[in-house]
Structure formats: C-alpha cells, structure tokens
Structure 1
Amino acid sequence: MKTLFIGGIKSGKSLNAQKYILENSDAKPIYLATTEFVDAGMKERIDAHKQERGDDFITLEEPLKIHEAVKNSSSPVLIECVSMWINNMFYHGHTLLDMLQELESILELDKTIVFVLNDVGSGIIPDNQLARDFIDASGKLSQLIAGRCDEVYHTIAGISTRIK
C-alpha cells in the first residue's frame, strides 16, 4: 500500500501522515527523515518534529539514498519529506533523472510507504532558475508518486481530504 499526503507548508500533512501510518500499521513504522541540518532554524524544526512523534516510530535519517535506507526493512515507512529530499538531491548535484530512478525503486518495493510532499504547484513561476528547476522536479515527481499510490490526501488547515 502506497499513500501520499500533499499540501502546503505547515498545512498539517506531516501530522496527519503520522496518524495515518500509526493507525494502519501492525508494526512500529519507520520515520525516514530526509532533512539535513543546515542552520539553527532547521534544527529547531527537526527537533519539533522529533518531539511531535515521540517514541511511536523507528527514526532513520537519510538525506539522499532513501531506497537504500528502507529496502530491507519489514516495517511500514513514512518518508518525511520528499520535498526536502528533492532539495538535498539538487544541492548535492543530482539530476531529475537520478530522482526519478530513486523514486521508481522506492515505489517498486512491496511494502507500506507513506510519502509526505509539499504542494508547490499553486504559486507563480519564480524568477530564478534553481527555484524553477525545483518546482518542475517537484511537479513531475509528485505526479509520479500520486499516480502510483493507492491513496492520495490533500491537506489544508490540518484537514486531509482523500482525492484518490
């Protein structure tokens, strides 16, 4: 079973994805954290997420090789978040093709995976190339994930609505 929670930043998608995987798992799920520590503000966000999820998850931190991190696990996986992973991949010089291949390998795994992704497709076209590349990649990858997921939830103001 594959599920996607997509929504704006601070929409509540992460919390709802956590509740969803906990309610739909027989085993303690893996929380695959993709965010890298880049500054004090990001560390605060990471710490808040850790407190929020408590001891309900097995936490793995992996900013790039998400398939490698979970391929041999028998536990359900929450990937939090795909947007930060895209950011990391660009930062470390990877291409959209690299990202597509990594996500394809994750989507082929026979396990329960819940993806969390920021919806960046409702804004304007940015004035710089890197931001345009990020939005384009995010849009293409979100379509790939949503197309292969059994369920997709769009989250606004803490409310997740099933759209697939």
Structure 2
Amino acid sequence: MKALFIGGIKSGKSKNAEDFTIKHANKKPYYLATTEFIDDEIAKKIELHKLQREDNFITIEEALNLSEKIKECNEIVLVECLSMWINNMLYHEKSHEEIFYEIDKILSLENSIVFVLNDVGSGIIPENKLAREFIDLSGIIAQKIASKCDEVYHTIAGISTKIK
C-alpha cells in the first residue's frame, strides 16, 4: 500500500499522514525524516514535529538515500517530507536523473509507504531559476508518485480529502 498526502504548507497534511500511518500499522511504524539541520528555524520545526509524533514511531533520519532506508524497514514507513528531500537533492547538486532514479527505486519497493509533499504548484511562476526548478521537479514527482499510489489525499485547513 502506498499513499500520498499533498497540501500547502501548514495545511495539516503531516499530522493527518501520521494518523493514517499509525492506523495502517500492525506494529510501531517508521518515520523517515528527511530534513537537514540548516538553521535555527529548521531546528525548531524539527523539534515541533518530534513533539507532535511523540513516541508513536521509530524515527530514521536520512536526507538523500531514502530507498536504502525504506528497504530496511519491516513495517509501514512515513516519508516526511518529499519536499525537503527534493530541496536536499538540489542543494547537494544531484542531477534530475539521479532524483528520478531514486523516486523510481522507492516506488518499486514492496514496502507500504506514506508520502508527504507540499503542493507548491498553485502559485505564480517565481523569478528565481532555482525556485522554478524546485517547483517543476515537485510537480513532476507529485504526478509520478500519485500515479503509483493506492490512495491520494489533498489537505486544506487540517482536512484531508481523498482524491484517489
């Protein structure tokens, strides 16, 4: 089983994805945290997410090689979040081919996976080249993942609506 929770920043998608993951787990699920400690603001966000998930998950931290970590898990895995992972891949100067290869490897795994992804395609086209690249990659990855997921949820104001 694979599921995607997509929505805007602070939409409630992470909390709803956590609840969904716990509901579908047979034992303690995995939480694959992708965010790298970049600055104090990010560190605070990471701490808030740790408090939110309490002791309900086995936490694994990995910024780049998600497929290798997921493959090792013997229970449902929550990937939180793919937006930060895309950011990490671009920051570490990974090519689009490397990014899509990793996504394909993840999607080919037999593991049950719940993905969280920010919906960044509803705004204007930014002037910044890197921001445009991020938005384009995010949109393509969202489509690729959604096409392979059994369930897809769009989240607004803390409410996740099943769209697939």
- Give the TM-score of the pair, scaled to structure 1: 0.99
- Partners of 1:96 and 1:136 lie apart in 2 by 11
- Partners of 2:24 and 2:78 lie apart in 1 by 12
- Residue 160 of structure 2 aligns to which amino acid in structure 1? S
Identity %: 59
Matches within 5 A, 1:45-56: 45-56=45-56
Structure 2: give runs of 5+ residues left out of the alignment. none
Residue number in structure 2 paired with 1:107 = 107
| Secondary structure in structure 1 of the residue aligned to 2:126 | coil
- How many residues are paired up? 164
CA shift digits 1:47-66 (9 cap, x unpaired): 00000001100000000000
Structure 1: give runs of 5+ residues left out of the alignment. none
Alpha-carbon contact 2:4-2:145 (below 8 Å) kept: yes
Alpha-carbon offset, residue 9 of structure 1: 0.2
Deviates more, 1:7-16 or 1:23-32: 23-32
CA shift digits 1:85-115 (9 cap, x unpaired): 0000000000221111101111111111000
| Secondary structure in structure 2 of the residue aligned to 1:60 | strand
- Partners of 1:150 and 1:72 lie apart in 2 by 22
Residue number in structure 1 paired with 2:155 = 155
Alpha-carbon contact 2:120-2:138 (below 8 Å) kept: yes
Alpha-carbon offset, residue 128 of structure 1: 1.1
- Residue 92 of structure 1 aligns to which amino acid in structure 2? H
Matches within 5 A, 1:1-164: 1-164=1-164
- Residue 125 of structure 1 aligns to which amino acid in structure 2? I
CA shift digits 1:134-162 (9 cap, x unpaired): 00000000000000000000000000000
- Partners of 1:157 and 1:69 lie apart in 2 by 31
Alpha-carbon offset, residue 72 of structure 1: 2.1
- Give the TM-score of the pair, scaled to structure 2: 0.99
- Partners of 2:154 and 2:61 lie apart in 1 by 25
- Partners of 2:11 and 2:38 lie apart in 1 by 23
- Residue 63 of structure 1 aligns to which amino acid in structure 2? A
- Residue 96 of structure 2 aligns to which amino acid in structure 1? L
